[in-house]
Amino acid sequence: MPGADVRLTNDVGEGYVSAYTLATGNSYTDATLSECGISRGRQNEPAVAMDPRNTNVILGSSNDYCGVYNSADASGAPVALGPVWLGYYRSENGGSSFVSSLVPGYPGDTSPYDALAHVRTAGAGDPVVAWDGHGRAFFGSESSGDPVGTAKTFGDVWVARFENPGGADASDTLKDGLAYKGTETIAQGSSAPNLLGVFHDKTAIEADRTGGRCDGNVYFAWTRFSGGKNSNIYLSRSTDHGATWSNPLLLTPQVQNVQDPSIAVTGNGNVYVTWDQGSTNSGQTEGVGVVKSTDCGATFGSDRLLVDYTGYSAQDVSAPQPMPMPQSRPDDPASADDASAEGSARDCGDFADACQSGYTFFRRATNTQTTADEYDRTHEWLYVVYDASKGPALDTGTTYGTLEVGKAAQTAAYFVRYDGATGEVDLGPVLLDDQSSGDQVFPDIGADGGVLHALWWDSRHDPCYSPLRPIGNCADGTTVASLDVYATSSTDHGATWTTPVKLTDAMSNPNYEQFDNRAVPFGGDYLTIASKGDQSFGTWTDWRDTVQGTDQRETPEDSDAASADVKQCRVVLTSAPDKKGNTTKSWSSDLCPHDGGLDQNIYGDQTP
C-alpha cells in the first residue's frame, strides 16, 4: 500500500497521554504513564474499530506492557512490577497518526477516572473494541492477575465504555468515543492458582448499529475454562450502553473444547456467535460452530456446525534445560497464560521453554473471525474467515508439527459466506489467496457498508520457508525476518476478491525471545481490521523496531546463534561468603529493558 505504516504504540518520543487529559484537557500523569513514554516495550494482540459516524475516528488497543518497568530498586535497577494493561490508541485523521494512552483503571491510576473503573485492577489482556451508531465505543478485556501479587489467577472479564463528551449523537463526531464513562465487571473467575479454577478468557464484543429494534445493544462473549480443561462459550448483553450487563448465558451446552468466540449482528438485528470447535474423544467434528438469537441476544437457539476444517496448532515436545546459573529475579511480571499439556509445547525457546527440535517459534493455531454487514437489510449473511491446514500432512523429521508431533502442513486463510436465514453455507470455503509457498495466519474481516475487507499474516517471503519447519526458522536453527501482512477486498459479497496487497513496509522476525524472562517469543492470538464502505484500516503486531542482541546466560550459545536473542544487559551477582566460606552466583535481571530489546509494537495501515 502507498504511504508509510503507522505506529499506534508511541512508547518512545511522543509518549502516552492520560485518557483523562485527552477528554478534559486537564493535566494528569503518573509513574505508569511516564514509564510508557520511554519504555520501548512490548505490545501484541491488536484490536481496532472505526467510528461509523466519522471514519476519521479510529480507536485501537492491545496487550500493552509499556508500564511494566515503572519502578526501580534501591540501586536504580528497573524492576518488573508494573501492569500489563489495555492500550487506548486514538486517531482523528483516518489512521494517519495515533495518540497513545491506556484505558483508565490500571494499577497506579489516581486520575479522577480511576474511581469509575469497577474492576479488580491487576493486569488486563485480550482487548476487543466495538462502536455503536451513536458515538459510543466499548473496550472488552479479561483480567487475570491478583492485585496483591499472589499466584491466584482471577480470570475476570469486563467492558469499559467511552462516549462523546457532548452525549449520544452529538454533532461534533470528531469527539466520539473520547470521554471515559466507566468499566463494569461482567463475570469473575474463581481465583484459583494456575488456571485450575473458573477462568474467563478469549473475549469478543459487538454492538448493534442497525438502527432497528435492537439498536444500541452491546454483546460481549468469552470462553469459560473450568479446571484448566473444559471450555464453553458464554455471552452477556447490555441494553443501557454498557452501564449494566445481563447474567452470563451459556451458549454451548452440547459441545466441548470450544473457544475463540466471535460476534456478528446482521442488518435485521439478529445476533450470531461463532467459535472454534476442536475435535474430542466423543467424535465431535472440528470446525466453526454457530448459534443464533432472534430476540436481541436474550436467548439463543441450538448450536450447529457452520463449516468443518482441518485445524492446526504449532507444537513440539518440551525438553526443558536448566539455566547455567539462576536469575536473581524475573524480568517479567507474573503472567497467567494457559499451560500446555504435559510433554507438549505450543511455543519454544530457551531454558525452561526449550523443545526437542531445537527450533524457536511463537504460538499460533487455527483462529476464526466472523462479521456481518449491519447496514445490509436484504441479506442475513455472515462472513467468516479462518486459518486452517492446506494440503497433505508431511513428516517433518523432527518433533515439530502443526497437526501432531512430527507431522505438519501448510496453513492458509479461508473465507466462507453463511446464510443465517437458511442455515447453510452458500459460498465457500474458498482460499483468500492460493499460494504455493508460505503460511497464512490470523485472518480477520470487516463488512460494514457493502464492501468486504480482509487481512492476515503471511510468510511467503520467508527466505527459509518450509512447511516442515516453524515460520522464520532455517534448517540450521537460526531465525530470520519472515512475516508480512497482506490484505484484499471484495465488492460482490465475497464472490470475487481483489489481488492481495502487501501492507507492511518492513518484514519482521516474530521469533524474538521477549517473554518469560527473555526466553520465548509471543505474537498474540489475532490481528484486527476495521472498515466502513471503502474505508478500511488494519492493525498487526510488529518487530521491525526490536534490537537484536545476545543473551549472556547462554553458555555456550544455542542453536539459534543469537538470531532470536534480543538486546539485554546482565551481570553476575555474587553473594557474601557464608560461615562455611561458600558463595553463590546468579544472573541479574535485565538492566537495560529500555534499550530496544523489548520493542515490539502495533502498526497499522489503510487496506484495500
- Tens digit of pLDDT for each residue in 65-84? 999 999 999 999 999 999 99
**Residue 191: predicted pLDDT:** 65
Q: How confident is the model at residue 115 (pLDDT cuts 50, 70, 90)?
A: very high
CA–CA distance, 456 with 440 (Å, rounded to integer): 6
- Please state the rounded mean pLDDT for residues 484-497: 98
Instruction: Find the farthest-apart pair of alpha carbons in the chain and give their distance in angstroms, rounded.
Output: 84
Pairing mode of beta strands 125-131, 117-118: unpaired
Dump pLDDT digits (tens) for 384-416.
Answer: 999 999 999 999 999 999 999 999 999 999 999
Q: 482 near 461, Cβ under 8 Å?
A: yes
For the chain, what percentages of helix, strand and coil (3-state, to nearest 5) are there?
5, 40, 55
pTM score > 0.75 for this model?
Answer: yes
Q: What is the mean pLDDT of residues 235-258?
A: 96
Q: What is the pLDDT of residues 181-229, one digit of tens each?
A: 999 999 998 766 665 667 888 999 999 999 999 999 999 999 998 865 6
What whole-number distance in Å separates Cα of residue 273 and Cα of residue 263? 5
- Confidence at residue 584, expressed as pLDDT on a 0 to 100 scale: 92
Q: For residue 50, what is its C-alpha cell?
A: 472505526
E-strand ranges in 420-556 read 424-431, 440-446, 452-458, 484-490, 501-502, 528-532, 535-542
Report the pLDDT value the prediction gives residue 192, as an integer from 0 to 100.
63
Q: Are 420 and 382 in contact (CB under 8 A)?
A: yes
Q: Distance between alpha carbon 206 and the CA centroid of its chain, in Å?
A: 16
DSSP class of residue 585 equals E
What's the CA gap between 307 and 423, in Å, rounded?
11
pLDDT tens by residue, 371-388: 999 999 999 999 999 999
Give the number of other Cβ atoms within 10 Å of residue 168's Cβ: 14
Residue 153 has pLDDT above 80, yes or no: no
How many angstroms separate the CA atoms of 88 and 103, rounded? 5
Half-sphere CA count of 494, side-chain side, radius 13 A: 26
Tell me which H or E stretch contains 19: helix 19-24
pLDDT band at 341 (very low <50, low <70, confident <90, very high): very low
pLDDT tens track for 418-454? 999 999 999 999 999 999 999 999 999 999 999 999 9
Residue 440 has what pLDDT? 98
Residue 330 reports pLDDT greater than 70 = yes
Cβ atoms < 10 Å from Cβ of 215: 17
- Residue the block writes with cell 525457546: 349
